[in-house]
């Protein structure tokens, strides 16, 4: 049962996705969550505490929802692609999380507190991706000379770079998805079943 705290955190993600961390006004959040500003201070102590908790919340949610991609199971390589493309979908949910995630990254540059949270989430994501790459190799669907760790680091960093360009309007989602898909081919080699 989502208590008030969680409702506030969810509202905070929406506000951050709309206005950025820098643009989050406690009063605006209060309106979005339909509570008083005082309640926010009661639960989160101060603005900085609120931001910290919100970003923890985001990163927890992010590690959660990549699992959803596993649902419509296919071969390991398709799964990897699906895992990565999951971050480049034009739905409210993904857009929200993705923008908020970018804000976490941007804020971490100037706030040591956030670096730890960010680094942990990034590590998890890279590890999961590396596992997926290794699976594809084991299934004979990826070049064995590629180091899974390196490939994963590059592909996930690329997803972040493409997301940023998408959200800042220099790229459409479709183009971003096509580019990402091409990168997987370049990194793993073309699929044996789909030559040229």
Partner DNA sequence: GTCTATAGGAAGATAGAC
Partner DNA sequence: GTCTATCTTCCTATAGAC
Residues that bind DNA (CB under 7 A): 4, 24-27, 34-39, 41-43, 45-48
3-state secondary structure of 118: helix
Nearer to a second copy, 3 or 112 (CB): 112
Q: Is 159 in the site for a second copy (CB under 8 A)?
A: yes
Six token digits for residue 112 = 């040591």
Find the radius of gyration of the CA atoms of the chain.
19
Residues 65 and 89 sit within 8 Å (Cβ to Cβ)? no
Q: Which residues within the stretch 19-38 sit at the binding site for a second copy (CB under 8 A)?
A: 19-23
Stretch in the footprint of a second copy (CB under 8 A) among 37-45, 78-86, 130-138, 172-180: 172-180
For 19, phi and psi rounded to 5 degrees?
Answer: -125, -5
Nearer to DNA, 3 or 194 (CB): 3
Residues 87 and 94 sit within 8 Å (Cβ to Cβ)? yes
Integer Cα distance of 49 and 115 in angstroms: 15
Rounded to the nearest whole angstrom, what is the least distance from the CB of residue 4 to DNA in the complex? 4
Q: Is 138 in the site for a second copy (CB under 8 A)?
A: no
What residue 196 binds from a second copy, DNA, none (CB within 5 to 8 A, per partner kind)?
a second copy
Q: Is 48 in the site for a second copy (CB under 8 A)?
A: no
What residue 26 binds from DNA, a second copy, none (CB within 5 to 8 A, per partner kind)?
DNA
What residue 15 binds from DNA, a second copy, none (CB within 5 to 8 A, per partner kind)?
none
Integer Cα distance of 176 and 9 in angstroms: 29
* Of 183, 66, 181, the residue nearest 124 (C-alpha): 66
Rounded to the nearest whole angstrom, what is the least distance from the CB of residue 62 to DNA in the complex? 24
SS percent in the chain: helix, strand, coil, step 5: 75, 0, 25
Distance of CA 160 to the CA centre of its chain: 8
- Name the residues that contact a second copy, by CB under 8 A: 18-23, 99, 102-103, 105-110, 115, 118-119, 122-123, 145-146, 150, 153-154, 156-162, 164-165, 167-171, 175, 178-179, 182-183, 186-187, 196
């Amino acid at each position: 049962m989502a208590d008030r705290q969680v409702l506030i955190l969810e509202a905070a993600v929406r506000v951050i996705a709309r206005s950025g961390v820098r643009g989050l006004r406690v009063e605006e959040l209060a309106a979005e969550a339909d509570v008083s500003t005082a309640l926010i201070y009661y639960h989160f102590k101060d603005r900085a505490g609120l931001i910290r908790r919100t970003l923890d919340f985001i990163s927890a949610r992010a590690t959660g929802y990549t699992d959803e991609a596993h649902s419509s199971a296919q071969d390991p390589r398709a799964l990897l692609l699906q895992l990565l493309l999951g971050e480049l979908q034009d739905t409210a949910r993904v857009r929200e999380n993705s923008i908020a995630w970018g804000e976490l990254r941007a804020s971490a540059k100037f706030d040591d507190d956030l670096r730890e949270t960010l680094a942990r989430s990034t590590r998890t994501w890279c590890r999961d991706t590396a596992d997926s790459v290794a699976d594809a190799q084991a299934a004979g669907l990826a070049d064995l000379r590629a180091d899974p760790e390196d490939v994963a680091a590059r592909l996930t960093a690329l997803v972040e770079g493409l997301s940023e360009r998408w959200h800042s309007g220099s790229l459409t989602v479709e183009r971003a998805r096509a580019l990402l898909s091409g990168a997987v081919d370049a990194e793993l080699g073309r699929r044996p079943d789909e030559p040229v």
